Structure formats: structure tokens, C-alpha cells
């Protein structure tokens, strides 16, 4: 990829980027002030009711359990990656976003999609490949999409959604829209080049991206310490001048508390991510969690995840 390909405001003469995206914004200083004020009123200003969050967690958990049953009975084809054990993270993150914010997720995206407001009917129909499902049934489990909720996947490629999130945020930034793009990914994605490319551009161009790392400490099966020299993944944000928040997303003990804490951290991050006054327009949250099942319902009953509780280094 050349320098011309990397910048939306590229210069044709010397092959180098001649303009930053921020220079193409059409909003005046007055408009920017009004935009910032609008963002403050758009984002959630009060913590949601813990009971409502718990109900939402239980609803998603039951949906995932039903997906596992249908997949094991070969009613659902393809691949199914369950988010059981990570539901608190999804509910907390989605509750902190405004309706107009964009979401880019992973292949464990059903919890995020349901918490975002997509219906069980549209998601389950898609799991069966029916035309009545979202995306008209295409892509099965890993490619949920609903533009009306600004939910842009679902991505089968590890770290594949990060460049997409940067692009969505760039479009909103250039059009002066007070919108945040929440990009959700796992700890395995932070070892991919797409993470560093996307984080660098988001910080350089001050894009309103909230990078949300769901750290289950084993990615798809490799212990964190065997893949990363620095296992405190939140420190990666410092190299890009981003602020970072660290939290836990356990669904087990104190199950009422994690979504509220998660929502609080997300709300704290949404402010800087959407404000043109922040040092950078981007932020990163890292939430330690645990996938309660294996890579898929047919995996070995989550044995890798169980071992991680007693031997974090593998």
C-alpha cells in the first residue's frame, strides 16, 4: 500500500499525504462547540438500573444456551462462537453508548447485537440462514449486521473490524457528526498488525474511536503470556497517546456489579472519544473476562478456560 492509499486527503503530485482529515471538516468553531454540547446530552448521563442490566444479561445467556443446543443438534450450520461468560461486558458497553453511535464487533457478537437492540428473531433467523434474518440470512453466525442500529458486524477475521471502525469514525469526524465508534475485539487481536495500524491512525487523526478489548487471557486457545511480552494490554494505549481504562467483566460472583462498572468506564471513555478538546479523539478500555465455554459448543467444555484460572502462564 502506498502513501496515496493511506490518506483520504492525498496529494497527487508527490505521492504523500498533503492534508489531514481534520482540515476537511466543514464545521466552524461555533459549530464545534455546539457539537460537543450535543454529545454531552446524547450520551448516557445516569447509570442504568442494575436490575435491568441483570435481566438483559440473563436474556442473552439464555439465547446463547439455546444456540448451543441447536448447534449441537446440527440445526445450525457453520460455526458458532458463544459469548457465555462475557455477557456482562457486552451489556455494560452497549448501555453506555448513544443510539447514534456505531459498533463494530467480533465473531462472538450476538451478545453485543442483542444488547444493542437487535431482535432475537432476526438474529436466530440468520443463524438458520433464513432470508427473514438480518443480512437476509447471509454469513450465518459471524456476520450480524443491522444499519438501523449502526451495528456493523460481526467479523470472522481476528482484528478485521479495527480498520473498519477507524473508517467509520473518519467518516463521522469529517462530517462533523458527534458520534463515537465502539470497536470491540479480543486480546488475540492486539498481536495483529491491524490493531497498531488502526490505533496509530485513530490517534494521529484524532478520530472518535473507543477501542474495547475483551481480554479472556487465552484468545482462541493460546495463553496471553505465550503471545504477548507485555501482558498488561492497557499499556499499549500509551504508545499512541491514548487514555486507557482497565476493568473486570466477570459474570460470576457479584454479578450485579460488573455491568454497572463496565458502563461507568465506557461512559468515561465515550466523553474523550467524542470531544475535539481531548488530547486524542480515541480511547481504549481493557476488560478482563473469561469465556465460559470452549472455542465453540463442540470444544472440550471450556477446559482451556478452566486451566487458565489456575495457571495464567499456561
Mean per-residue pLDDT for 232-254?
Answer: 71
The predicted pLDDT at position 217 comes to: 83
Question: pLDDT at residue 18 above 60?
Answer: no
48 pLDDT tier (thresholds 50, 70, 90): confident
Question: pLDDT at residue 104 above 70?
Answer: yes
Mean per-residue pLDDT for 92-105?
Answer: 92
Q: How far apart are CA 178 and CA 80, in angstroms?
A: 35
Sketch out the chain's domains with CATH numbers: 79-310 (3.40.50.970)
Q: Which of 141, 140, 89 is nearest to 110 (CA)?
A: 141
- In the chain, where does DSSP find H-type helix? 3-6, 29-42, 50-72, 87-96, 110-116, 120-127, 161-174, 193-204, 257-274, 303-310
- In 160-256, where does DSSP find H-type helix? 161-174, 193-204
Give 225-239 pLDDT, tens digit per residue: 888 888 888 888 888
Q: Could you tell me which residues are beta bridge partners of residue 247?
A: 287
The predicted pLDDT at position 219 comes to: 80
Tell me which range, 185-189, 278-282, 286-290, is most confidently predicted by mean pLDDT: 185-189
Residues 6+ apart with CB under 8 A from 156: 107, 142, 143
Q: How far apart are CA 151 and CA 210, in angstroms?
A: 14
C-alpha cell at 85: 461468560
C-alpha cell at 178: 458527534
The predicted pLDDT at position 245 comes to: 79
Amino acid at each position: 500500500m502506498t502513501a496515496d492509499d493511506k490518506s483520504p486527503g492525498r496529494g497527487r503530485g508527490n505521492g504523500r499525504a498533503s492534508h489531514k482529515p481534520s482540515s476537511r471538516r466543514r464545521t466552524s468553531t461555533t459549530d464545534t462547540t455546539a457539537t460537543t454540547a450535543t454529545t454531552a446530552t446524547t450520551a448516557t448521563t445516569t447509570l442504568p438500573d442494575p436490575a435491568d442490566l441483570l435481566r438483559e444479561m440473563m436474556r442473552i445467556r439464555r439465547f446463547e444456551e439455546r444456540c448451543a443446543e441447536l448447534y449441537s443438534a446440527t440445526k445450525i450450520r457453520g460455526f458458532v462462537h458463544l459469548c457465555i461468560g462475557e455477557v456482562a461486558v457486552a451489556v455494560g458497553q452497549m448501555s453506555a453508548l448513544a443510539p447514534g453511535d456505531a459498533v463494530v464487533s467480533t465473531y462472538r457478537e450476538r451478545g453485543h447485537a442483542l444488547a444493542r437492540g437487535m431482535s432475537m428473531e432476526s438474529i436466530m433467523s440468520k443463524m438458520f440462514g433464513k432470508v427473514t434474518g438480518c443480512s437476509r440470512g447471509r454469513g450465518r453466525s459471524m456476520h450480524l449486521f443491522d444499519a438501523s442500529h449502526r451495528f456493523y458486524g460481526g467479523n470472522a477475521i481476528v482484528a478485521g473490524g479495527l480498520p473498519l471502525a477507524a473508517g467509520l469514525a473518519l467518516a463521522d469526524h469529517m462530517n462533523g457528526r458527534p458520534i463515537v465508534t465502539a470497536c470491540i475485539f479480543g486480546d488475540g487481536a492486539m498481536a495483529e498488525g491491524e490493531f497498531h495500524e488502526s490505533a496509530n491512525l485513530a490517534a494521529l487523526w484524532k478520530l472518535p474511536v473507543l477501542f474495547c478489548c475483551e481480554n479472556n487471557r487465552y484468545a482462541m486457545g493460546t495463553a496471553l503470556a505465550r503471545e504477548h511480552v507485555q501482558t498488561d494490554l492497557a499499556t499499549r494505549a500509551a504508545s499512541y497517546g491514548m487514555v486507557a481504562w482497565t476493568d473486570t467483566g466477570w459474570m460470576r460472583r457479584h454479578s450485579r456489579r460488573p455491568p454497572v462498572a463496565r458502563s461507568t468506564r465506557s461512559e468515561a471513555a465515550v466523553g474523550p472519544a467524542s470531544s475535539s478538546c481531548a488530547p486524542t479523539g480515541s480511547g481504549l478500555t481493557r476488560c478482563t473476562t473469561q469465556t465460559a465455554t470452549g472455542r465453540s459448543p463442540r470444544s472440550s467444555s471450556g477446559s482451556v478456560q478452566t486451566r487458565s484460572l489456575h495457571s495464567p502462564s499456561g
